[in-house]
Chains A and B, each alone.
Chain A
């Protein structure tokens, strides 16, 4: 069942593009951003720079960012591990890019589209779920909703808007 704001989020460990297992939980993280994304979706690509700019900036404040590709790589070869690795090696990701080959993590989190953004507080509870900002086509928005969520979590304050509508390409489920 999709976690709601305030709910504990489902745990996971997934491989990164080098094959190393990366757990959701990490001691000392002030917050964790989990983004279901992919290589072939124009919405994911349009928001990618903004999301990774936030990941770089907020890493200095103890925020981890885990990006996960959940798509069926057989039907969508551009989302296969080799293509993921190529992007990581090109320096396109500010943190680990994880492969959810079984799609079990995407199902457990209720991911619907790419990108689908979740912010988790230090206690492992969901603080925000939705889009990075209001318009994939307007870079000046700078992932403002994601930034607001992180600022609230880091300040220990309640979120004004803990849920927004995620916008993007549907997750490509296996048939």
Chain B
């Protein structure tokens, strides 16, 4: 299982997202899971990766908090919406944990 945090240097939120991700993984029983930090540096790379903004978390390529359909790619900060509707530069902690749980279960199911 590959867990990635894709980020762009122009947005200051990825350290907070990394902390949230590690906390969520610990809550789900994976405190030692490796997180690969991947910097997205060009618009072309963003398009190739389907990168809708920084930060973006992926588990084997799938986003635990998927962006809305048709979201454009690019070097930008990603806009997340919290469970209460507020805008945020990082995902809602509960939605992130639920999404990670679902994706990790899918990966583990595939392995069996």
Contact = CB atoms under 8 A, between A and B. Distances in A.
B74 interface: yes
Given A42-B79, A42-B80, A139 B86 contact: yes
A42, A45, A167, A169, most chain B CB atoms within 10 A: A42
A43 interface: yes
A41 to B, nearest CB: 6
B102 to A, nearest CB: 24
Contacts of A12: none
Interface residues of A, number: 17
Interface residues of B, number: 16
Interface in B84-102: 86-89
A144 interface: no
Contact of A167 (B12, B86, B87): B12
A40 interface: yes
Interface of A: 40-43, 45-46, 75-77, 136-137, 139, 167-170, 172
11 contacts: A40-B77, A42-B13, A42-B80, A46-B87, A136-B88, A136-B89, A137-B88, A167-B12, A169-B89, A170-B10, A170-B11
